[in-house]
Amino acid sequence: MSQYLFYILSLLTAFSAMMVVFSRKPVYSVLYMIFCFFTIAGHYILLNAQFLAAVHVIVYSGAIMVLFLYVIMMLNLNKESEPHKSNIAKTAAVVSGGLLLMVLVSVFKSADGLAINPAFDSQIGMVEVLGMVLYEKYLLPFEVSALLFLTAMIGATMLGKKEGGAQS
């Protein structure tokens, strides 16, 4: 059962990721990206990380992608479909990406010998277990990420100001 679910989810993930890259209009790209994030959240649930799936949907689909959609609609960027790069750039991208892909796939083929295939434990990915570890073992990175958010907020405000940032 979970096997079929995994393969269907994988096909959907790959398809929507390709549509993100290949669709001409940015709004369609963003919508396919949201779909792609939902399928990735499905992968997380299959991989025993339920809380992470919820966080992923909330943060990525709910916050980041809505921000993207908002910017595209505010700047009215959907009217022109930009010309893609030359065929040389595309060929270079396919060749370099494909070579590295071959190397990685041949490495990952041998990863099955390492796996110990644990049983599905429904409690590992839940919020109680995660919260205990987060506030004991990972307290310092947690605080540092709060500082990071503060810095990002100040930076975004500075850049978005009319007279600040680059002189026009």
Among 73, 98, 135, 139, binds another protein (CB under 8 A): 98
Choose, by CB under 8 A, the member of 8, 77, 127, 139 that binds another protein.
77
| Among 31, 35, 38, 43, contact with another protein (rule: CB under 8 A) | 43
Residue 131 interacts with another protein (CB under 8 A): yes or no? no
Q: In the range 101-120, which residues lie near another protein by CB under 8 A?
A: 101, 104-105, 108-109, 111-112, 114-120
Taking CB under 8 A as the criterion, the residue among 73, 85, 139, 143 binding another protein is 85
Residue 48: what are its φ and ψ, rounded to 5°?
Answer: 75, 30
Amino acid 20 reads: V
- What size, in residues, is the chain? 168
**Binding of another protein by 36 (CB under 8 A):** yes
Candidates 8, 73, 84, 135; binder of another protein (CB under 8 A) is: 84
CB of 154 to another protein, least distance (A): 10
- Alpha-helix residue ranges (DSSP H) falling in 23-126: 26-46, 50-56, 65-75, 87-108
Q: Report the nearest approach of another protein to the CB of residue 146 (Å).
A: 9
For helices 2-22 and 26-46, angle between their N-to-C axes, nearest 10 degrees: 160
Angle at alpha carbon of residue 118, lines to 117 and 124, rounded to 5°: 140
